[in-house]
Amino acid sequence: MIVCSCHAISDRALREAAAAGLSHHEVVAVTGAGTDCGCCSETVAEIVAESHGPCRADPCLGCPRRGGA
Ligand code: FES
């Protein structure tokens, strides 16, 4: 499914980039997703966060990626 219509970037491409270890910022920089009209930015962030799985960093209270202990 195309997530970013401005750059024709699919959810699969975003997931593959995130799975390769790229940060959200890096995924955006490499794919261009979210860098034009910005309509897809929230969805791009959600897909990348899902692909990275839960974060276990301690100081990020309130972060939607915060995982369990
Ligand atoms: S739809 Fe992604 S930048 Fe426009």
Which sequence spans correspond to the domains of the chain? 2-52
Q: Average pLDDT, stretch 10-17?
A: 97
Query: How many Å lie between the centroid of ligand 1 and the Cα of residue 63?
Result: 24
CA distances in angstroms from 67 to 17, 52, 53, 56, 61, listed in the order given: 21, 11, 8, 5, 10
CA–CA dist 24, 21 (Å, integer): 10
* Domain 2-52 fold: Arc Repressor Mutant, subunit A (1.10.10)
pLDDT digits (tens, 9 = 90+) for 38-67: 999 999 999 998 998 776 666 666 666 666
What number is the average pLDDT over the span 13-33?
Answer: 95
Q: Which residue out of 1, 4, 31 has the highest number of ligand 1 atoms within 8 Å of its CB and is therefore the one to mutate?
A: 4
